[in-house]
Amino acid sequence: MKTAHEPDRFEQDGYFVHAVPILSPDLLTRATRGLEDVCEGIYGTGTEPAERLWNPGDDPRALRKIEQPQLANHALREAISAPLLGELAGAITGARSVQVWWVQLLYKPGTPDGGATGAQTNVGWHQDQAYWKEWEDGSELFTAWLALSDVTPEAGPMVFVPGSHRWGLLNGGDFFGQDLNAVQSGLSIPPGASWREVVDVLPPGGVSFHHRLLIHGSRRNTSAGPRRSLAIHLRTEMSRPRPGSWVSRYLDQPAISPLIFQR
């Protein structure tokens, strides 16, 4: 599974796609159900997620974004602790240790009419680093994006701009921007940089990793079924939260922020 080229590819492209399930079929089934339960407000652990930007009764066609869903569900805790997730994260970064520091549930409902109607569920072009000011400068942070449904080209997969992690932190990114062309036009892309898009197609249980400075976004889900995913934000030993920052809140809770790799 691991090849000597993984660290090079992550460093060169700013992302790495592992289009093979990293969860057993049983855990995949339980985690998928767990994600649906959390969306519906069913909390097996008896604890609520940290924040919900969608609640049962809200527009069923809207993007569901729920922060720290593993607080609420045992199978999601197991999924973010999957040994293969840690092995891959360690291999692509060469880190001594990797810890989960935050998780976002991202659910794009399907559009059985092929997307003719429905709310906009695009994720505008952005770099994660722009939202991570709570960490000391230079902190080594990255994201594992775990698919819990078949993320086909029609399902609104993430789209990466290869090499853009070397363009520095740009102004103009906007996670919630719905018009991707407008967001792209507003980005302070360096002169001469070439814009190319790669679609992050994944099977259920597949995972991709992206650099904190990689430009990425996604378009709407025009498939019939939902696009289910967990964005698992990771840190290596080369990272430090700013004193008093909210990101420290769960770091000493192994079930919520597991240490998934150590050499």
Ligand X SMILES: O=C(O)CCC(=O)C(=O)O
Nearest-approach distance from CB 159 to ligand X, in angstroms:
8
Q: What's phi and psi for 126, nearest 5 deg?
A: -160, 165
Instruction: Residue 147: count other Cβ atoms within 10 Å of its Cβ.
Output: 27
Pairing of strands 97-108, 216-218: unpaired
Instruction: Work out how close the CB of 188 gets to ligand X at its nearest, in angstroms, rounded to a whole number.
Output: 19
Smaller CB distance to ligand X: residue 3 or 118?
118
Least Å from the CB of residue 15 to ligand X? 11
Between 30 and 211, whose beta carbon lies closer to ligand X? 211
What is the Cβ-side half-sphere exposure of residue 1, based on CA atoms within 13 angstroms?
A: 13
The minimum distance between CB 51 and ligand X, in angstroms, equals 16
Element of type H or E holding 208: strand 207-211
Residue 189 has a CB neighbour count (10 Å cut-off) of: 17
Q: How far is residue 18 from each of residues 1, 52, 55, measured CA to CA in Å?
A: 9, 29, 32
Six-digit token pair at 207?
Answer: 């995972």
Residue 163 CB, shortest distance to ligand X, in Å, is 17
From 83, 82, 95, select the one nearest 6 (Cα to Cα): 95
Q: Is the Cβ of residue 44 or residue 186 nearer to ligand X in the bound state? A: 186
The DSSP code for 171 is S
Q: Which one, 44 or 140, has the nearer CB to ligand X?
A: 140
Which residues of this chain interact with ligand X, rule CB under 6 A?
A: 106, 123, 128, 143, 145, 158, 216, 218, 229, 231
Which of 119/231 has CB closer to ligand X?
Answer: 231
CB nearer to ligand X: pick between 27 and 130: 130
- For residue 15, the cross-strand partners are 210
C-beta of 139: minimal distance to ligand X in Å? Answer: 16
